[in-house]
């Protein structure tokens, strides 16, 4: 674990930073210690005013905001309650145990990390000294927490040596240099260790979130036949950019053969969270108005929807990336109702006002209204359409075949 401590003069700015991450779906408030309400019940001003009231007790202290980040090794995948316990233990060990503080879990990097916002003014107006806090109290707390919680040890890394577990922004990377390879290596290693996927397409559904892709090459090529694998950086439009990196040169050697060896194990491991994900999808499908709204609602719950489409824009596949449980599912693996075909059919039905799917063997309903919709959406035979519309007005219409012919009375001879 690596701890970073920053002090400042704006509590509002520190809270704003984390709240904006929450709005973007990249963070969530997991703990509000020392607040009269539960975290989910707090609005922005509830969060700010609790800290600001303490800061106002000492107007001479211009630096009163403390913003801490706790960063964990990329191989670790800690539950939310475990992160809460670690945050509380850390704050107590550095002398902030009785201070109110907010803990945000961020999801915008390849490693797990939390941000803690608090104030160093106590309820009696006295200031908690920040002098050498990182070097003394924080370093001691880090070592004790690593031991008591069984965390990967930071190994005495200094915060200024550039080896911190930090977020890698690939869009700003200098392509073709060692920094780019290290960034790709960090992301690939973290995703493979933390996420449960059962195909290369599912792995790419996660990697693409970090602007990285794994490429086998086109079918029929020597690379494809030899089961080669390259990792590339993606630009903002999803195009590969820079020099691709061979899987065998990345730490851990995430080659295609190594990945395929994980598929069966990952399939078994993710079964426990499948019912929970299906329940969320069922509820979201009943409220979503279209595919974009569907994706938006799920993203707010830390689930990304990845649509796979061909060059003509036809969506033939859908993948769900659940960042909460670190699992990836192809839609059809969850069930027919969650496949690309079913999702596509639902929105098409809503647009054309079609009725729900009917059971096999039942005759299709006759609806003049649906005929009008079809007429407006695609060209049909004008004469045929006019016959159908005229039929609606002819309430006394009787087919010719059902009309009885009147028999003429023969005149008998006189």
Nearest-angstrom CA–CA distance, 7 and 128: 12
Q: Are 225 and 200 in contact (CB under 8 A)?
A: no
Question: Which has the closest alpha carbon to 305: 317, 314, 313?
Answer: 317
Compute the chain's Rg from CA coordinates.
31
Burial of 86 (0-12, 13-18, 19+ CB in 10 A): buried
pTM score of the predicted model: 0.47
> Considering only CA atoms, which of 304, 310, 315 is closest in space to residue 341?
315
d(Cα 249, Cα 230) in Å, to the nearest integer? 10
Question: What pLDDT, in 10s, does the model give residues 204-253?
Answer: 999 988 889 999 988 889 999 999 999 998 887 888 888 888 999 887 88
- Would you say residue 383 has pLDDT above 80? no
The pLDDT tens digits of the residues spanning 58-114 come to 989 888 999 999 998 867 888 999 999 999 999 999 999 999 999 999 987 767 899
Listed residue (39, 31, 98, 102) closest to 66, CA to CA: 102
Rounded Cα distance, 410 and 315, in Å: 73
**Sorting pLDDT into bands at 50, 70 and 90, what band is 402?**
very low
- The answer to whether residues 48 and 7 touch, using CB atoms and an 8 Å cutoff, is no
**Residue 287 backbone dihedrals phi, psi, to 5 degrees:** -110, -20
pLDDT at residue 189, as a whole number: 86
Q: Which residue has the tokens 């990097």?
A: 109
- CA 320, CA 370: separation in Å to the nearest integer? 34
Tokens 């002819």, residue located: 394
Point out the least confidently predicted range of 140-149, 184-193, 399-408.
399-408
Packing angle between helix 368-377 and helix 382-393, nearest 10 degrees? 160
Q: Residue 200's pLDDT band (boundaries 50, 70, 90)?
A: very high
Q: Are 266 and 196 in contact (CB under 8 A)?
A: yes
DSSP string, 295-341: HHHHHTTTEEEEEEE-TT--EEEEEEEETTTTEEEEHHHH-GGGSHH
For residue 371, what is the enclosing H or E element? helix 368-377
Token readout for 79 is 């539950």
Beta-bridge mates of residue 116: 68, 103
Q: For residues 2 and 31, is the Cβ–Cβ distance under 8 A?
A: no
Tens of pLDDT, residue by residue over 304-330, are 999 888 877 788 889 999 988 899 999
């Amino acid at each position: 674990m690596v701890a970073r401590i920053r002090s400042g003069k704006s509590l509002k700015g520190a809270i704003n930073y984390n709240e904006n991450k929450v709005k973007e779906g990249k963070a969530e408030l997991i703990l509000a210690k020392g607040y009269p309400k539960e975290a989910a019940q707090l609005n922005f001003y509830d969060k700010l005013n609790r800290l600001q009231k303490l800061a106002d007790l000492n107007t001479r202290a211009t630096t009163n905001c403390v913003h801490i980040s706790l960063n964990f090794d990329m191989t670790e995948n800690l539950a939310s309650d475990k992160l809460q316990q670690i945050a509380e233990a850390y704050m107590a060990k550095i002398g902030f145990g009785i201070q109110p503080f907010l803990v945000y879990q961020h999801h915008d990097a390849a490693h797990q990390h939390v941000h803690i916002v608090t104030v160093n003014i106590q309820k009696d107006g006295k200031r908690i000294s920040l002098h050498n806090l990182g070097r003394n109290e924080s370093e001691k707390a880090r070592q004790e927490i690593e031991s008591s919680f069984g965390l990967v040890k930071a190994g005495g890394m200094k915060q200024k040596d550039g080896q911190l577990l930090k977020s890698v922004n690939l869009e700003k990377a200098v392509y073709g240099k060692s920094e780019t390879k290290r960034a790709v290596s960090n992301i690939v290693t973290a995703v493979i260790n933390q996420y449960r996927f059962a195909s290369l397409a599912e792995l790419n559904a996660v990697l693409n979130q970090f602007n990285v892709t794994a490429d086998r090459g086109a079918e029929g090529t020597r690379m494809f036949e030899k089961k080669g694998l390259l990792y590339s950086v993606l630009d903002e439009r999803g195009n590969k950019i820079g020099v691709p990196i061979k899987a065998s040169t990345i730490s851990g050697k995430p080659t295609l053969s190594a990945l395929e060896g994980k598929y069966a194990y990952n399939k078994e491991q993710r079964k426990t969270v499948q019912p929970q994900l299906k329940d969320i999808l069922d509820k979201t499908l009943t409220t979503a108005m279209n595919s974009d709204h569907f994706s938006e609602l799920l993203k707010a719950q830390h689930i990304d929807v990845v649509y796979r489409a061909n060059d003509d824009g036809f969506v033939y596949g859908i993948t769900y990336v659940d960042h909460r449980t670190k699992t990836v599912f192809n839609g059809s693996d969850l069930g027919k109702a969650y496949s690309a075909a079913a999702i596509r059919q639902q929105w098409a039905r809503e647009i054309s006002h079609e009725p729900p799917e009917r059971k096999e063997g039942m005759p299709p309903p006759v609806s003049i209204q649906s005929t009008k919709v079809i007429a407006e959406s695609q060209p049909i035979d004008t004469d045929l359409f006019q016959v159908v519309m005229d039929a609606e007005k002819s309430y006394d219409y009787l087919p010719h075949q059902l009309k009885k012919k009147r028999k003429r009375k023969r005149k008998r001879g006189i």
